[in-house]
Structure formats: C-alpha cells, structure tokens
C-alpha cells in the first residue's frame, strides 16, 4: 500500500514540478477551458487506462475459469479411468475401490462444490483419496494382470490428486491485488472527469453521459461477479463430475 501511495505522490509531484518549471520559464499559455489540450489529453489517457485495467479484470478471471473447467474434466476423467482399471484388481478389492471412487465423485458434487464458490475446499476429499490409495496398496496381486491393474489405478489416483490440487488453486484464485479497486477508481474518474475539467453538461448532453455511467457501472460490477472461477456468471459447474457419476453407473451396469 505504501508503494502505491508513494507512486501516486511521485506522479502528482512530476506534474507540479513541470507546471512550475514552465511557468517560471514563461513557456506555454494558460489553459482553462474544458475542451483545452490539457483536459483532452487527460481525458484520453484516463479512458485508455480504464480500458486497459477493465480488460485485465475481465481476461484474468475468464482464462482462470476456462483453465478450471478443463481441469475439472481432467480430474473426472481420471476417476472414470481408475474405475475402469479397478475391474482387473484382485477380486476382493474391485467392489471397495469402485465404491470409493463413486463416493469421491458424489462427495465433490454434493458437498465440496458449494464451498468452492467461497474459494474453499474440503479436506475430507483429500482424505478420501488417501484412503483409496492405501486400500489399493494393501491389495495382494497374484498375477501380472492384477499387478499391472494396481499400478494403473494408483497412477490414475495420482492424476486425480494432482488435478484436485489444481482445482483448489483455481478455487482460491482471484485477480491481482488492487486490480478490482483500480477498475472502480478509473471508472469513477472517467465518469466525473468532464465535471472536473470544468464542463457543466445540461439537458440532452446528460443523456450520453448517463448512459456511459450506467454501462461503466454494469461493467465494473461484472468484474466483481466473475472474480472467482466457481462463482458468478462464469462459474464452473460440477457437470464434469455429474457426467462421470452417470458413466460410472453405466460401467457398473455393464461390467
């Protein structure tokens, strides 16, 4: 915060020093008009700054949500692949491991997803994976096929754990600190700048200004709404895991 404050003070100081220097040197001419070069330059730069900040505030959550959506599909796919591979485990381990995989997917959809809208993850999910790994490791493989199946299941459980960790990071991810506040400040500056520059819009001139303010307000609100990957208009839903549960049910009915 102090760094930001010092940078603002330094920038304002540059303007003050430049203004004083040119006044003492007798260069330039007074510029008091709302449509003068100073106001025009400042207004253009404020608009450009707002557009840059607003674009970043939209693009960062958008890309995070897109990556999170792909990751949830990878995680649910690893659960399904582990379920398929479990069919070749020792006979006494097939049912428990498959049941554990179904329970994990159901837990993610039913219990964990609502918490992710707040940027949190349940520790119970990781504990379920740890128990599954321990159960697979305890199975006694008597044939090469069973040994290979155990290795595949462990590999897929490792993939589930890795993608789960990424999902936790995606759930907690937010735009860079201060970006949302900077979006608000630059948006407000763009709205009130004509008045600060000395203009006094009246009558029909207020209509486009009000329309611009309304659209800026909506856009700024949108940046707050989409700041988390699992909440808001861009929210990543549990469809990948819901689909995985349906596929597990289909596999169980056929194998």
* Interatomic CA distance for residues 60 and 187, integer angstroms: 18
* Interatomic CA distance for residues 90 and 149, integer angstroms: 9
pLDDT digits (tens, 9 = 90+) for 32-55: 555 555 566 666 778 888 888 888
Mean pLDDT of 105-109: 94
Under DSSP, the state recorded for 26 is T
The percentage of the chain sitting over the pLDDT mark of 70, rounded to a whole number, equals 82
pLDDT digits (tens, 9 = 90+) for 189-223: 888 877 777 777 777 777 888 888 888 888 888 88
Q: Does residue 208 or residue 27 have the better pLDDT?
A: 208
* Interatomic CA distance for residues 73 and 240, integer angstroms: 5
Residues 197, 249: contact at Cβ < 8 Å? Answer: no
Query: How would residue 232 be classed by pLDDT, with cut points 50, 70 and 90?
Result: confident
* Residue 79: predicted pLDDT: 95
* Interatomic CA distance for residues 12 and 75, integer angstroms: 51
């Amino acid at each position: 915060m102090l760094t930001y404050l010092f940078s603002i003070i330094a920038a304002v100081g540059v303007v003050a020093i430049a203004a004083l220097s040119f006044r003492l040197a007798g260069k330039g001419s007074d510029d008091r008009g709302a449509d003068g070069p100073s106001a025009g330059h400042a207004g253009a730069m404020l608009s450009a700054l707002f557009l840059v900040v607003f674009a970043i505030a939209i693009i960062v959550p958008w890309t995070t949500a897109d990556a999170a959506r792909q990751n949830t599909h990878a995680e649910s796919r690893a659960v399904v692949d582990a379920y398929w591979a479990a069919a070749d485990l020792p006979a006494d381990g097939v049912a428990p491991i498959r049941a554990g995989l179904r329970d994990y997917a159901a837990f993610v959809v039913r219990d964990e997803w609502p918490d992710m809208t707040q940027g949190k993850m349940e520790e119970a999910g990781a504990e379920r994976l740890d128990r599954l790994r321990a159960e697979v490791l305890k199975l006694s493989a008597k044939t090469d096929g069973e040994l290979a199946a155990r290795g595949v299941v462990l590999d897929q459980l490792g993939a589930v754990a890795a993608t789960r960790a990424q999902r936790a990071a995606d759930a907690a991810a937010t735009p860079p600190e201060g970006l949302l506040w900077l979006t608000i400040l630059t948006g407000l500056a763009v709205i009130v700048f004509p008045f600060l520059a000395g203009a006094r819009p009246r009558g029909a001139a207020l209509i486009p200004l009000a329309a611009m303010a309304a659209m800026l307000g909506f856009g700024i609100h949108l940046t707050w709404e989409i700041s988390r990957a699992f909440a808001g208009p861009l929210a990543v839903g549990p469809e990948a895991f819901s689909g995985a549960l349906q596929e597990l049910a289909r596999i169980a009915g056929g194998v």
